[in-house]
Amino acid sequence: MLDPDNWEQFRAQSHRMLDAMIDHLETLRERPVWQPAPESIRDHFRTPLPDDERDLASLHTEFMESILPFSVGNTHPGFMGWVHGGGTPVGMMAEMLAAGLNANLGGRNQIPLEVERQVVGWMRDLFGLPERSSGVLVSGTSAATLIAVTTARHRAEEQGLKSDSLVAYASSEVHGCLARALDITGLGRGALHPIACNGQQQIDLNQLQQQISHDRHHGLTPWLIVGSVGTVNTGAIDDLTALAAIARNAQLWLHIDGAFGALAMLDPELAPRLSGIECADSLAMDFHKWGQVPYDAGLVLIRDGELHRRSFAATDSYLQRATTGLAANTPWPCDYGIDLSRGFRALKVWFTLQSFGRHKLGRMIAHCCQLAGELEALVQQHPQLELAVPVSLNIVCFRHLGDGTLSESAMEKFTREIVCHIQCSGRSAPSLATVNGRSVIRAAIINHRTRHEDIVTLIDATLAASKTCLPPHGDSL
Ligand SMILES: *Cc1c(COP(=O)(O)O)cnc(C)c1O
């Protein structure tokens, strides 16, 4: 009933839509990185649910005029805000194929599950986890972290540990999805004892050990250590080998947040900095950031696959398994996570990994780090710019010093205004972050389209914005 009445017309319209999107991707650089949407555009999205049919060509026109020009802009080479992947044309096509197939990857006897298992297996091997490890694709690292924390908690329960005494440790720079996962599992944010960072924004190992002893002494149960591979603010990589040793000695669960940084494993020069990752009890990561897979696609890996299955296995009678027929091919992805109905995310990941291969993806990741180094050098060369923290991976945090007379509070306002001004200029899109208690301009180089000229544009745009945003002299308090 909902298929086209005229397939020829539908085909012609679909080809036009595909061409328009390919044109868009081919010419990204010609447009602003981002532009704010006028109110008149927002009004399109306040109309009531339509009663009647509407023709596809007119819907596409509305998409081209009112949606496409006003998205975040993370496909654009000048986008450096937060940590957003750029996507690829190959990923876009894989999304279309997956949507056409409309497979439900909750389980059942179908080859799409093998595609997901292959992707999980590739990552398990990339990170050096054992064969008995399990994994499941999820929306992103936030969901992956929740699954990891739930599994770690399940082990604690099996060990008879009292859940209200469990303590998790991570650096003060850890991503907020950890506290959220602790909240959702009922342990509460208070179960997280944040540990101070050293000058490289890595977890301070001495303080960690002291805190573990202190907590044990006070009747608490040290339970989980979370290491970061690429912190969200500055791209710092914790000393995973040391964390693994501490976790082993104190019998804690080691979880690694590798949201974007884990894929640095694909570059042979960066990989040694991740050593220790093979000791993880669980690992959360994204394909939609440095992997350039279109949103959304994340992964959780759990070292003890049996424990993982026990923590989530779906046992309801309507999900019972068989040895042949559609209900065969167990275990199913729904046994390893929260979702029962799940899309074929694995296909766009599989297409991306197959299409580019590990060498090209590794080179792309190394290139982002090289650009970050070049940006760091440009900041250091300019007398009015100040680096906030040494560049560890692909994130550069810096400030413009104004005329040198601004108070700290005036500097805060000045920095926030510069960031907004650059974003609104459409030339470049850094974001604002807080490092060592101060606001900074933050550029995360994670888009495969970014080139040296985009780094230069960011510096130019910063210098131009500083002139507009600088408070009049004598008004600096
Ligand atoms: C982005 C990010 C997350 C959250 O991942 P989502 O995919 O957005 O859910 C967690 N940790 C770090 C370090 C991140 O950069």
CA 438: distance to chain centroid? 24
Q: Are 284 and 258 in contact (CB under 8 A)?
A: yes
Q: Are 71 and 292 in contact (CB under 8 A)?
A: no
**Residue 476: band (very low, low, confident or very high) from pLDDT cuts 50, 70, 90:** very low
Q: Are 69 and 35 in contact (CB under 8 A)?
A: yes
Instruction: Give the three-state DSSP class for 26.
Output: helix
The pLDDT tens digits of the residues spanning 445-455 come to 999 999 999 99
Question: What distance in Å separates the CA atoms of residue 48 and residue 418, rounded to the nearest whole number?
Answer: 39
Phi-psi domain of 43 (left: phi exceeds 0; alpha: psi -120 through 50; beta: other) = alpha
Ligand 1 atom 15: residue of nearest CA = 232
Q: Of 232, 293, 392, which is best to mutate to test ligand 1, by the most ligand atoms within 8 angstroms of its C-beta?
A: 232
Q: Of 80, 82, 83, 394, which is best to mutate to test ligand 1, by the most ligand atoms within 8 angstroms of its C-beta?
A: 83
The mean predicted confidence, pLDDT, of the chain is 97
In the block, residue with structure tokens 């729904």: 334
Instruction: Give the three-state DSSP class for 7.
Output: helix
CA of residue 237 to ligand 1 center, whole Å? 14
Ligand 1 atom 5: residue of nearest CA = 141
Work out the number of other CB atoms within 10 angstroms of the CB of residue 113: 21
CA of residue 431 to ligand 1 center, whole Å? 15
Angstrom distances, CA of residue 464 to CA of 72, 427, 454: 22, 11, 15
The pLDDT tens digits of the residues spanning 419-453 come to 999 999 999 999 999 999 999 999 999 999 999 99
The pLDDT tens digits of the residues spanning 345-358 come to 999 999 999 999 99
CA of residue 236 to ligand 1 center, whole Å? 14
pLDDT value at 477 more than 50: no
Ligand 1 atom 2: residue of nearest CA = 259
| The ligand 1 atom nearest the CA atom of 142 | 9
pLDDT value at 475 more than 60: no
Question: What distance in Å separates the CA atoms of residue 300 and residue 307, rounded to the nearest whole number?
Answer: 14
The pLDDT tens digits of the residues spanning 239-256 come to 999 999 999 999 999 999
- The amino acid sitting at 348 is K
| The ligand 1 atom nearest the CA atom of 230 | 13
CA of residue 143 to ligand 1 center, whole Å? 9
Question: What distance in Å separates the CA atoms of residue 89 and residue 331, rounded to the nearest whole number?
Answer: 33
Ligand 1 atom 7: residue of nearest CA = 140
Question: What distance in Å separates the CA atoms of residue 378 and residue 42, rounded to the nearest whole number?
Answer: 39
pTM: predicted TM-score of the whole model, two decimal places: 0.97
| The ligand 1 atom nearest the CA atom of 228 | 13
Query: Which residues line the pocket of ligand 1, CB cutoff 6 A?
Result: 83, 140-142, 175, 177, 228, 230-232, 257, 259-260, 286, 298
The pLDDT tens digits of the residues spanning 76-105 come to 999 999 999 999 999 999 999 999 999 999
Question: What distance in Å separates the CA atoms of residue 399 and residue 413, rounded to the nearest whole number?
Answer: 12
Phi-psi domain of 79 (left: phi exceeds 0; alpha: psi -120 through 50; beta: other) = beta
Which pLDDT value is given to residue 314?
Answer: 79
Q: Of 137, 182, 257, which is best to mutate to test ligand 1, by the most ligand atoms within 8 angstroms of its C-beta?
A: 257
CA of residue 175 to ligand 1 center, whole Å? 7
